[in-house]
Amino acid sequence: MDDKKETSLKKPVRKIVPRRYDNRKQSNKSPISINKAKDKINIDNNPVKIMFLGGLGEFGRNMFVAQYKDECLIFDMGLRFPEENMPGVDFIIPSIEYFANNKNLKILGVFISHAHLDHIGAVPYLMSKLNYPPIYTGLLTKEIILKRQSEFPNMKKLDIRVIDAEKNNHIEFKNFLISVFHVNHTVPDSVGFLIQTKQGNVMFTGDYKIDFNPVMDKPADLTRIVKLASMGVDLLISDSTGIEKEGHSISEQEIFQNLEVIFMRSKGRIILATFASLISRLQQAIMLAEKFNRKVIINGYSMKTNLAIANKLKYIKVSSKTIIDAKEINKYKPEELLILTTGAQGEDNAGLMRIINKENVNIRIQSGDTVVFSSSVIPGNEMAVQCLKDSLTKQGANIYHYKMLDIHASGHAQKEDMKLMLNLVRPKHVMPFHGFYYMQKLFNDLAQDVLGLRKEDCILASNGQVVELVKNKILLTSKFIPANYVMVDGLGVGDVGEIVLRDRQALSKDGMFIINIIIDRKSKDVKVLEIISRGFVFMKDSNMLIKETKEKVNKIILKTIKKTVNDNVNESYIRNILRDEIGLFLFQKTERRPMIIPIVLEI
């Protein structure tokens, strides 16, 4: 960030905390309150609106808006991966239809909590449509956003302003004051935010866990969280992902010790598969490789990219002699090698799957390899990961995973961490995000038990639902803004809607049936040129069905033509009749419903 921008972030802040807090003398590193006289003038009945465009009742697509009058802030801008019933879809991003419908809205800034795709993945697709507002985030997150943005050469340069939680940064606007605090997650530079407004204060934890012994990171800044919370928190928006897990989150130091046991036991190569963004885990593996005199091969584009950025910014430590190119693999004995790779979720094109399928030119699974899955299984990927384990075992590899040994810790707070956060912040209201509806409900139950909050103080909102903050009170309204899925398929953004998706689902389920027909306008002769089946029946084994279908087509068209007036053949009408009647005919014969595509040529 240039000197001019950095100076602008450090100037003395305006005092805009709600009137119930004292005007205490504090250092300019902490938010301070409006004096009571001025506060009485400024307070009005215009609510601060909190609206999630994604991230509620789901994992991913995280993005919410804080709006006061015609000014708003955006927090996170993520994607989510498609469900099984979304064939061809690469991923899903939030809808920004609300901004398109309200041209008067001014976006003051986009605040990004950390560098995971479910929080930054939509940036390349949405920023141009939002007229490139400034982005406020940590240094590592900035570099990862810029690296991904370089894959979109037609985009303008992003205005990214670095915020440093260690320096107690706060960003001032006319109607908002944003303070930053450091939290632990699986990637450095993860932060949460306190949003101070004239109507009350909102604290957003981001994705977090509490780790008193992190690796290459500092513990969450609980002191600062308490200091900010002492200003009063009217609404705590908190991560609810780990609510079903009892106890405290496993420390990264414990993970490190268990990985060390595997390094001591393994006589051959070690292949460690994890997420490309799990910087702390990659650092642990590299430290152990250097301790046990192993060279490290990085396999996977995203992992190479993230490690290069983290190394440049000194978020990890690695000797220049430790990392080698995959082409040098045969120069070393098996016990001298560690391979770090993506693909722990069984993704088709990820690094580990390419190794297993022998698509990687340099790396093959060998008997005696130790494969470490240092990640939990994402819901929905269970079968893919099991197939991965089976393939590795057949090729002679030994496997370790998180159910055998604590070699992975979630980046999300477990129940005892959540209790600690609730007690530190003591909010008047809570609102969980980042989890299914069931998890959000469990979090609200916990908040009621820990803080004695009433049920109505614990907000269970849906994506698009408007939550209002007025004079330190929270109201869950019945108003909604658009928060529908926007699907990305290749270069297409939003052009795959429900109709296209439904067609894809039909094609993937029962295939398609194409009927090519020629109609002679004068003689009224009908000729079925060709019938093509794809994904429905195998043509060579279905001669009788094809013959009966041709006869049925002829009868339908001749019957239809006889009803025409003035010799005008209505091709559209014929196509519709064929879709309906041939569809019914094929269902009666096969109990399947292929997509019927009639092609009618009139001569």
Domains in the chain, CATH or no CATH each: 3-247+410-489 (3.60.15.10), 252-400 (3.40.50.10710), 511-602 (3.10.20.580)
Average pLDDT over residues 410-420: 93
Question: What pLDDT does residue 419 have?
Answer: 97
Question: What pLDDT does residue 79 have?
Answer: 93
How distant, in Å, are the alpha carbons of 29, 171, 597 from that of 4? 19, 14, 62
pLDDT of residue 427 exceeding 50, the answer is yes
Tens digit of each residue's pLDDT (9 = 90 or more) over 435-470: 899 999 999 999 999 999 999 999 999 999 999 999
Average pLDDT over residues 550-575: 71
Give the whole-angstrom CA distance, residue 326 versus residue 92. Answer: 34
Sheet holding 135-137, edge to edge: 160-162, 135-137, 106-111, 71-75, 63-68, 48-54, 465-470, 473-480
Residue bearing the bigger pLDDT, 565 or 310: 310
- From 170, 412, 429, 434, the catalytic residue: 412
Tens digit of each residue's pLDDT (9 = 90 or more) over 5-63: 333 333 344 444 443 333 333 333 444 443 333 344 356 789 999 999 999 999 889 99
Of 537, 528, 540, 550, the C-alpha closest to 601 is 528
Active site residue 239: yes
Using 50, 70 and 90 to split pLDDT, how confident is the model at 379?
low
The per-residue pLDDT of the chain, averaged, comes to 84
Question: What pLDDT does residue 496 have?
Answer: 56
What angle separates helix 415-425 from helix 437-451, to the nearest 10 degrees? 50
Which of 121-135, 272-286, 372-386 has the lowest average pLDDT? Answer: 372-386
Average pLDDT over residues 214-236: 93
Task: Give the SS3 label for residue 561.
Answer: helix
Which of 424-433, 487-496, 589-598 has the lowest average pLDDT? Answer: 487-496
Tens digit of each residue's pLDDT (9 = 90 or more) over 519-550: 776 666 777 767 777 777 766 677 788 788 88
Using 50, 70 and 90 to split pLDDT, how confident is the model at 404?
low
Residue bearing the bigger pLDDT, 257 or 24: 257
Which of 377-391, 413-427, 497-511 has the lowest average pLDDT? Answer: 497-511
Q: What stretches of 250-378 show up as alpha helix (H) in DSSP? A: 252-265, 279-291, 301-312, 351-356
Residue bearing the bigger pLDDT, 507 or 142: 142
Using 50, 70 and 90 to split pLDDT, how confident is the model at 91?
confident
pLDDT of residue 431 exceeding 60, the answer is yes
Instruction: Give the number of other CB atoms < 10 A from CB of residue 264.
Output: 10
Question: What pLDDT does residue 568 have?
Answer: 60
In sequence order, the 6+-apart residues with CB closer than 8 A to the CB of 573 are 560
- From 39, 207, 239, 510, the catalytic residue: 239
**Bridge partners of residue 414, in order along the sequence:** 242
Average pLDDT over residues 582-591: 82
Question: What pLDDT does residue 15 have?
Answer: 42
166 sits in the region (left: phi over 0; alpha: psi -120 to 50; else beta) called alpha
Distance spanning both ends of the chain, measured CA to CA: 69
Average pLDDT over residues 95-108: 95
Active site residue 412: yes
What is the sign, positive or negative, of the torsion defined by CA atoms of 392, 394, 398, 399? Answer: positive
Question: What pLDDT does residue 90 have?
Answer: 77
Give the whole-angstrom CA distance, residue 592 versus residue 281. Answer: 49
Residue bearing the bigger pLDDT, 321 or 20: 321
Which of 309-318, 372-381, 499-508 has the lowest average pLDDT? Answer: 499-508
Question: What pLDDT does residue 344 have?
Answer: 84
Instruction: Give the number of other CB atoms < 10 A from CB of residue 570.
Output: 16
Average pLDDT over residues 177-204: 95
Which of 9-23, 270-284, 586-600 has the lowest average pLDDT? Answer: 9-23
pLDDT of residue 154 exceeding 70, the answer is yes
Which of 13-17, 19-23, 256-260, 384-388 has the lowest average pLDDT? Answer: 19-23
How distant, in Å, are the alpha carbons of 75, 114, 431 from that of 191? 12, 7, 18
Question: What pLDDT does residue 332 have?
Answer: 94
**Cα 464 from chain centroid (whole Å):** 17
Looking at residue 432, the DSSP 8-state letter turns out to be E
Residue bearing the bigger pLDDT, 563 or 481: 481
Tens digit of each residue's pLDDT (9 = 90 or more) over 74-84: 999 999 887 66
